Structure 1
Amino acid sequence: MRAAVLVGPGECAVAEVPVPVAGPGEVVVDVERVGVCGTDVEFFTGEMAYLHQGHAHFPMRLGHEWAGTVSAVGAGVDAGWVGRRVTGDTMLGDGTCRRCRRGHQHVCGQRQEVGIRGGRDGALAERLAVPATSLHALPDSVDAVLGALVEPGGNALRAARAAEARPGGRVLVLGPGTIGLLTAMFVRAAGAEVHVLGLALDVVRGLGFANAWTADTLPDVPFDAVVDASNAATLPARALDLVEPSGRVVYIGLAGSPSTIDTRILALKDVTAVGILSASPGLAATIRAYAAGDVDPRPLVAATVGLDQVGAVLAGERPADAGPGPKVHVDPRL
């Protein structure tokens, strides 16, 4: 089958690779749609920390935001999965450690991450093998586009919940990338007043968010929660400055260099700070939200390309017919 293989920093090629076989407890999925993520770009540039920590090695196959149809099952897997439309959890714990036993497999110290960590091949290929336990079935109302947006949506939903977004509250989201915009959508769906700070404000306003600001135009109003969904090393501290006393700051963005906050401010303002790593605990609820129409992230997808264009997208090239959204999808069948 065809797959996009990241050979080394800046080197991505489409290659013929063996078709995956479903091992015990696994399924094979015919991939229909894959999202290209900022994490994938960090692998392409060679900056991703896992490369330097020994958790990932070249060559590797990326792709952890995906949707498809189960085409085969391995030993011990219910044959009823065949033909079902699915997405899957990126985080695959060992299933035996203390964290896994407590339901926190997404922070298992020995975890694999699909297309990211531990040699587990990703979905930028015609087919993908994953554990059946990682699967989430997709209802008919959640198509492949939405299915490939479940993983980033699960992260964003967790951020919105950590911000305790609700009617009468006011939440500021820093960074209008895919995660930031999805977080803003979930905050809006929860009934809170949403503000977004960033640079690509035409996209923000086009999604119906009137309260879109730059650093120079941000109004002096109280924010009950601030979500940092940016990659700027200075914004975690700025989030703490902007949040109301007894408010909440949520850190879901990752900077390329260390960022610092003044814990004296954290304590003296009696602020609750929450870090979000993974979509895992939010996947099922995200599928329900998409199915119900509470959140519609389709406008975030700017273009859909084939495997042959993956290298160019990772290098930062926008497809010629791309719309304004921040996300590029890949259809391996093209």
Structure 2
Amino acid sequence: MVMRAAVFGDTGTIGLVDRDPPEPRPGWVRLAVSAVGICGSDLNLLYANAGASRGVQPGHEVAGIVDCVGDGVAWSPGSRVALEPLVPCGACDWCRRGLRNLCPDLKLCGFTRPGGLAEYVHVPADALHAVPDDLSPAVAALAEPMAVCVRGARLADIRPGDRVAILGAGTIGLLSILTARASGAGEILVSGRYPHQREFAAALGADAVFEGADALLAAVGDRHVDVVVETVGGHADTLAEAVRTARSGGRIVMLGVFEGAPALPGFEFFRKELTLRASNCYGRECHQGDFALATDLVTRHAGAVAPLVTHSFKLDQVAEAFAAAADKRARSIKVQVEP
């Protein structure tokens, strides 16, 4: 038996290779992959780190079906699941506190372990979250980015009635509308660069949508906002924009991954006594872990989030899938691959 898997090449390319399917060891399962999302970190591995990612099998936004299990596993073959792609050591102080995302020996499917852009993937049994049989794999795979937003809303301490600004309207920004509302936000303002992103933001319930952070700030005026959720990262100026948008005593949560040192208006940050929190992946330190809550949210809001999957490709079209995800002129939000 041979399976197909997508791997990065050494010239910024991605293609298929034949590999032996994994045999599950004790406590692990072999997952038959149903749907995999492509996110900005995948695009960065391919286009910005050409060569450095050679041989990596990407894919961390994964939904699938349990195919076979190792010893000591309670899951049954045929179970439909979403994958929490963190593989921590399970023994360190961080892991014991539920902060698996901070484990110094953390491995991540799709980066430092083989990911889900393959017909099968080998994962720990405790990384799986059950989803209803009638939930589409496309929606189930949105549990991973939703978990990022769940943690962001929690670390931002969004409270009932808060006025919340979300900078960026990609998948994370759009799903943050739902987590902000679930946290009790009274008003949600969203800035998005592209027209189709702004259309989706309005459809998901944003109270006001703007072409950019400057337009949002102009509309906010002297009232400012209680919480700013930054979702862009990269080389954007959105952290500085977040400082300008937040009210005195306000809170900023950083979900975007910045390259280099982002600009921060130090005096304004000081004068306003702002709180800035970075949010990295998701954890289990609360009664209900971030990923478990995210799975519940995508299930309850399946009809609302399903349209975010704008493009779907087969595994042998993986290069076209990455191109569509990178080209916003294609009106892409979430591009997925169905092995």
Q: Does 1:233 align with 2:229?
A: no
Match of 2:8 in 1: 6
Q: From the superposition, tell whether residues 103 and 318 of structure 1 become closer, same or farther in structure 2 (CA, over 3 Å).
A: closer
Quick one: which of 81, 95, 102 aligns to 2:97?
102
1:157 counterpart = 2:154: no
Of all paired residues, the percent bearing the same amino acid is: 34
Name the residue aligned to 2:337: 330
Please give the residue correspondences for 1:97-246 in structure 2 after superposition, counting only pairs within 5 Å: 97-117=92-112, 120-192=113-185, 193-200=187-194, 201-213=198-210, 214-218=212-216, 219=219, 220=221, 221-231=223-233, 232-246=235-249
Counterpart of 2:37 in structure 1 is: 35
Q: Is 1:65 equivalent to 2:61 in the alignment?
A: yes
Residues 250 and 273 in structure 2, CA contact (< 8 A), matched pair in contact too? yes
Q: Deviation of residue 160 (structure 1)?
A: 2.1
Q: For structure 1, which segment, 188-197 or 152-161, has the greater mean C-alpha deviation from structure 2 after superposition?
A: 188-197
Which amino acid in the other structure matches residue 194 of structure 1?
Answer: I
1:287 to 276, 290, 295: 295
In the alignment, the residues of structure 2 paired with residue 292 and residue 203 of structure 1 have an alpha-carbon distance, to the nearest angstrom, of 18
Give the Cα–Cα distance (whole angstroms) in 1 for the partners of residues 316 and 45 of structure 2: 18
The answer to whether the 8 A contact 1:10-1:315 is kept is no
Deviations, residues 129-157 of structure 1 (Å, cap 9, x unaligned): 10112111113353312210000000011
CA displacement at 1:38 relative to structure 2 = 0.7
State the superposition RMSD in angstroms.
2.4
Read off the aligned partner of 2:319 and give its amino acid letter.
G
Residues 325, 335 of structure 2: 8 Å contact kept: no
Displacement of 1:115: 0.7
Where does the alignment leave 5 or more consecutive residues of structure 2 unmatched?
A: 285-289
The letter of the residue matching 1:99 is W
TM-score by length of 2: 0.87
Q: Which moved more, 1:257-266 or 1:140-149?
A: 257-266
Q: How does 1:308-323 map to 2 (within 5 A)?
A: 308-316=316-324
* Contact 1:67–1:148 (CA under 8 A) maintained in structure 2: yes
Provide, for residues 153-197 of structure 1, a one-character-per-residue CA deviation record: whole Å limited to 9, x for no partner: 000112122333344221000011110111012213334211011
Unmatched runs of 5 consecutive residues or more in structure 1:
52-56
C-alpha offsets along residues 293-321 of structure 1, whole Å, 9 cap, x if unaligned?
388321211011011221123235679xx
- One-letter code aligned to 2:337: V
CA distance, structure 1, for counterparts of residue 114 and residue 255 of structure 2: 25
Query: Are residues 1:76 and 2:78 paired?
Result: no
Distance 1:312 1:181, change over 3 A: same
Quick one: distance in 1 between partners of 2:325 and 2:89? Answer: 37
Q: CA offsets per residue over residues 8-55 of structure 1, 9 Å max, x none?
A: 24211112111111012210011101001111111101439x95xxxx
Q: Please give the alpha-carbon distance, in whole angstroms, between the structure 2 residues aligned to 1:116 and 1:236.
A: 26
